[in-house]
Structure 1
Amino acid sequence: MRSIILFDDPKIRLQLLPFTYTRPVAKIRCGIWTIAEKWNDWLQTSTSFQTENYLSTRFPAIHSTDQIYINGALCPDTLLVEAIEKLTDESVLISTDNEILAIKTSSSDWTPAAGTNSFNKLVYSESVIMIRRIWDVFSGNGVQIKSDFERILASRKSAGLTDPFTHCYNPENIFIEEGAVIRASVLNAENGPIYIGKNALIQEGSTIQGPFAIGESSVLAQGTKIRPNTSVGPFCKVGGEVSNSVIFGYSNKGHDGYLGNAVLGEWCNLGANTNNSNLKNDHTAVKLHSYVTGKLESTDLLFCGLFMGDYSKAGISTMFNTGTVVGVNVNVFGAGFQPKHVPSYSWGGNAEGFTEYRFEKAIAVAKDTVSRRGVTFDETDEAILLEVFGQTKNQR
């Protein structure tokens, strides 16, 4: 029996903060599925994770006598999966840029730090899709929606649309799961597929342009405007206008306001009329806080908005500047544009100033947030957030 283990590349993990403070790289959502869910589907098995020690209790690695380690930032495709399946014992698949793509070994002790000198090297000359930086999550989202959609469509049939007041453009490019409810909306899949998850609710007057995906039991509020290349994970509430953005899951943007070229983690909440800028007035490339250098670094992107880590919240009418990074467990509010980087466990706003968000208070709010969705917040979750609190203390 073989084990498929998705490993965190240390360099990539650092580039994907703040999202990888609280999850392995492969638990990032891009498209309809997370990276791990993609591999589960392509390989028809359950994957596990090799990640930071403090995350391993929640996301353990499962070993056997035969391991295939796959880079957790790597998105599968037909040629790549074929190449990995053909790996012989004690061999490594590397890219033309010398990145480790996959390793097949009997050892349960391999880590990226161990390197690849003892393995038979095979160079993979085809192009690969890697989620290397946080802006790759939204910039690659449309392509990944299409890829995931094709996998779903190849093996299952859509439940179909029953509402007579909803109009669909290119209905064969729309997949609706059982239990989903759509009321008096417009679904335009002419330029990309639309996926509606199990028990999702699309309320009256919503307009959707594909590529778009919404996960299980998520809700689009009345009159929501969804622009292309947007993914909403499971158990979210979304309203207002959203464009080319990814919301991982269990997060709320339930009211009017604009979210564009953005990524929200889990258990986030944006208050009513919260907006982010995604284009600078002078139309120059957006700079973003780098956890690698601690400085603003160019993304080389014209459009780039908000990145918000897990458990963070914004008060009503909060304004986020172009290319803003908000850490984990932040409570941000008040007048004026917020700073380009709001460190984890910060409380306050640009006008009022920031103080440290007391850990005990932050955990109490996190527990209440999670319990409202009928999900258990346990000692492992608290231990992860305590570790993040310690790791980020020198940022505040």
Structure 2
Amino acid sequence: MNYLLIEQADFRNQLKPFTFTRPIAEIRVGILTIREKWEKHLDGSLSHISTPTLSEKYPTKTEAQNILINSSVCPNPELVKAIQLGASLKKDGVLISAAATEEEIGFFDPKQKLEEAAEYDGDINLITQSWHIFQKNADEIRSDFELITAGRNTQHVNDPHTSVYGEKNIFIEEGASIKASILNAENGPIYIGKNAQIHEGAIIKGPFAMLDNSHVNMGAKIKGDSTIGPFCKVGGEVSNSVFFGYSSKGHDGFIGNSVVGEWCNLGADTNTSNLKNNYANVKLWDYAKGGFKDTGLQFCGLMMGDHSKCGINTMFNTGTVVGVSANIFGSGFPRNFIPSFAWGGAAGFSTFQVKKAFEVAQKVMERRDKTLDEVEQKILTEHFQESKLDRIWEKE
């Protein structure tokens, strides 16, 4: 059977700014992306049905018979077994999966499929809001840990100056290096990817995951429920936050209850507030609404889209949303919604023109032996055009 990951439009809007540059299923939550989770469970590759802007980078592969899976649904063993039987499933008004022929995919009617679907009585983890990425990260680390370490042998901590607690909950891949650190996995697992490095004086509490070739810098304090994607460098204090990959927070400063996309950089002593002084619920910018939305959360920090950067000593207010390819600098608190391709800070913004954004992105990606190819440039160019309405200074 051919499996495809299909998106629900309202969920896609709610997951911006991260879905400006990727399908929903390419979001990392836990150790793996949602797509990687499904591929591990189903033992095969999956493709996406996403927006036209992303179709060249993420092509759709169909066959005569297909099972469509909602991209916002994280798999578990019981759900996977039910889907493999080929039945259409729903949960609390959300379509989980549906069978479709190749011809039907072009005329797919979610409402009709929802009416036909059987109610699934098991539990599911849905990623439908941007804050769900950090909110459900601990559960997904535990789930992914069991999935990818089952039946495998871990490398061991050989450094005599590293203290380990809850050793049975720690899995270390080949090539990883850990020196003079503290690893505490008593409250949740710790996963260390291939060639990852934990430097001297770092303190890490599980649940925690760091992917291949990433670094936790000297003296870092990782409080748990956090994920550091591949090729990241992270230091300072981190709590319940997710770095998708290829991003850096190399110096001191606090980030909590936050999500950072790819190719981002947080300058030295950047701090995020994750709690309002009056302890009220945090509101986040809602792209579909064009205004702020109550998250229902008391703790919520920074949502930063791909390729965005901030200078030293940047102070982000509680519940700040930063779009794609923004550059924030200067003293004071910048506004808590910063549109894509914004250049500036508390004193005001101008437009970071797309050609300049390409120049920076190319230099940053070359440091990881990657290139900003024509497909990536096309995605950013189309987003630059569609995000003009958010940059209010361009209307003046």
TM-score under structure 1 length normalisation: 0.96
Which residue identity lines up with residue 349 of structure 2 in the other structure?
A: F
SS at match of 1:134: coil
Question: What do residues 249-299 of structure 1 show as CA deviations (whole Å, max 9, x unaligned)?
Answer: 000000000000000000000000000000001111111111121111110
Question: Does 2:79 match 1:80?
Answer: yes
Q: CA deviation at 1:105?
A: 2.0
Q: Distance in 1 between matches of 2:17 and 2:282?
A: 18
Question: What do residues 94-131 of structure 1 show as CA deviations (whole Å, max 9, x unaligned)?
Answer: 11x22110112222552696225268421112231110
Question: What do residues 5-43 of structure 1 show as CA deviations (whole Å, max 9, x unaligned)?
Answer: 111111100000000000000000000001011001001
Counterpart mapping for 1:260-271 below 5 A? 260-271=256-267
Out of 342, 345, 362, the position equivalent to 1:346 is: 342
CA contact (8 A) 1:9 1:112 kept: no
Q: Distance in 2 between matches of 1:258 and 1:249?
A: 18
Question: Does 2:114 match 1:123?
Answer: no
Aligned to 2:238: 242
Give the direction of change, closer, same or farther, for the CA distance of 1:113–1:284 in structure 2 (3 Å limit).
farther
Aligned to 1:145: 141
Which residue identity lines up with residue 37 of structure 1 in the other structure?
A: E
Q: Distance in 2 between matches of 1:98 and 1:230?
A: 30
Counterpart mapping for 1:100-179 below 5 A? 100-110=95-105, 114-117=109-112, 120-179=116-175
Question: Does 2:386 match 1:391?
Answer: yes
Question: What do residues 38-74 of structure 1 show as CA deviations (whole Å, max 9, x unaligned)?
Answer: 0010011111111001101101111112211100010
Q: CA deviation at 1:153?
A: 2.5
CA contact (8 A) 1:63 1:108 kept: no
Aligned to 2:358: 363
Out of 368, 374, 382, the position equivalent to 1:379 is: 374
Question: Does 2:222 match 1:226?
Answer: yes
Question: Does 2:42 match 1:43?
Answer: yes
Aligned to 2:283: 287
Which residue identity lines up with residue 157 of structure 2 in the other structure?
A: L
Question: What do residues 77-109 of structure 1 show as CA deviations (whole Å, max 9, x unaligned)?
Answer: 122111101125xxx2111x2211011222255
Give the direction of change, closer, same or farther, for the CA distance of 1:112–1:224 in structure 2 (3 Å limit).
farther
Question: What do residues 216-244 of structure 1 show as CA deviations (whole Å, max 9, x unaligned)?
Answer: 00001100100110000000000000000
CA contact (8 A) 2:223 2:237 kept: yes
Out of 166, 174, 181, the position equivalent to 1:185 is: 181
CA contact (8 A) 1:200 1:217 kept: yes
Q: Which moved more, 1:118-127 or 1:202-211?
A: 118-127
Which residue identity lines up with residue 99 of structure 2 in the other structure?
A: K
Q: CA RMSD in A?
A: 1.3
CA contact (8 A) 2:95 2:117 kept: no
Q: Distance in 2 between matches of 1:260 and 1:202?
A: 20
SS at match of 1:279: coil
Aligned to 1:93: 89
Q: Distance in 2 between matches of 1:295 and 1:120?
A: 35
Q: Which moved more, 1:129-138 or 1:102-111?
A: 102-111
Give the direction of change, closer, same or farther, for the CA distance of 1:358–1:16 in structure 2 (3 Å limit).
same
Aligned to 2:297: 301
Q: Distance in 2 between matches of 1:63 and 1:341?
A: 39
Which residue identity lines up with residue 28 of structure 1 in the other structure?
A: I
Aligned to 2:394: none
Q: Distance in 1 between matches of 2:345 and 2:317?
A: 13
Q: Distance in 1 between matches of 2:36 and 2:103?
A: 22
CA contact (8 A) 1:3 1:67 kept: yes
CA contact (8 A) 1:259 1:275 kept: yes
Q: Distance in 2 between matches of 1:205 and 1:261?
A: 23
The size of the alignment, in residue pairs, is: 390
SS at match of 2:357: helix
CA contact (8 A) 2:358 2:372 kept: no
SS at match of 1:155: coil
SS at match of 1:234: coil
SS at match of 1:20: helix
User: Any gaps of 5 or more consecutive residues in structure 1?
Assistant: none
Q: Which moved more, 1:79-88 or 1:203-212?
A: 79-88
Which residue identity lines up with residue 304 of structure 2 in the other structure?
A: M
Q: Which moved more, 1:63-72 or 1:324-333?
A: 63-72
Which residue identity lines up with residue 332 of structure 1 in the other structure?
A: I
Q: Distance in 1 between matches of 2:385 and 2:317?
A: 27
Out of 311, 322, 329, the position equivalent to 2:325 is: 329
SS at match of 1:216: coil
SS at match of 1:45: coil
Q: Distance in 2 between matches of 1:274 and 1:159?
A: 34
Q: Distance in 2 between matches of 1:128 and 1:18?
A: 24
Runs (4+) off by over 6 Å: none
